[in-house]
Each structure stands twice: as structure tokens, then as C-alpha cells.
Amino acid sequence: MEIEIRSSFLKELKKLPSDIQISVYATLKTLREAQSLESSDVDYKKMQGQKKGGNYYRIRLGQWRIGIEYINPEIIAITVLSRGNIYKHFPPGKN
């Protein structure tokens, strides 16, 4: 799959501990090599509270979450936040 990485994602990623950064890069590599999000071996879940037709998902990495938009065959990496913060600030346009 193709993966687009937003500048805000990179900015947030640089603030994380190095072991988490390595896990994030490994997850992105896994997604890049997969045929689809469904066929990948990542822990993903569609986000609730989004407008109808929204394609926002979160990928779980321990206490961290990667916020993505998935429009097959492309993934847009939007944010990477702690478990407590992702649900407050993602998906975009949420109340």
C-alpha cells in the first residue's frame, strides 16, 4: 500500500521515546508491504464519532495510537498520540 505521512505526524513522532519511534516505523513498514489494512497484521479499529462515510482508524501500539485515514489502497498517517489523548483529538472534525 501507499503511505502518505503528514508533517504533523512527523513532528509528534519526534517527541516520542526512541523505542516507540522504532515500533511506529516497523508498523508503517508492515502496512506498506501489506495488500490492504484488513490483510495486515496490525491491531486496527475504526474510530467512532466520525461523520458518515469517514475512513478514520487507529492502530494500537501498546499505550500509543497511530491515527490514520484509510482509503484503499492509500493510508494517510495523520497523528501519533498516547492512548488517553488520541480519543480526545482524533478523528479530525470531531466535536
Among residues of the chain, what percentage have pLDDT more than 90? 79
**Spans in the chain with pLDDT lower than 70:** 53, 94-95
- Predicted confidence at residue 94, as pLDDT, reads 63
Pairing of strands 2-5, 74-82: parallel
Q: In the CATH scheme, what architecture does the domain 3-89 have?
A: 2-Layer Sandwich (3.30)
CB 43 within 8 A of CB 60: yes
Give me the phi and psi of 5, to 5 degrees please. Answer: -115, 120
Distance of CA 94 to the CA centre of its chain: 16
The domain locations on the chain are 3-89
Quote the CA–CA distance of 95 and 72 in Å, as a whole number. Answer: 26
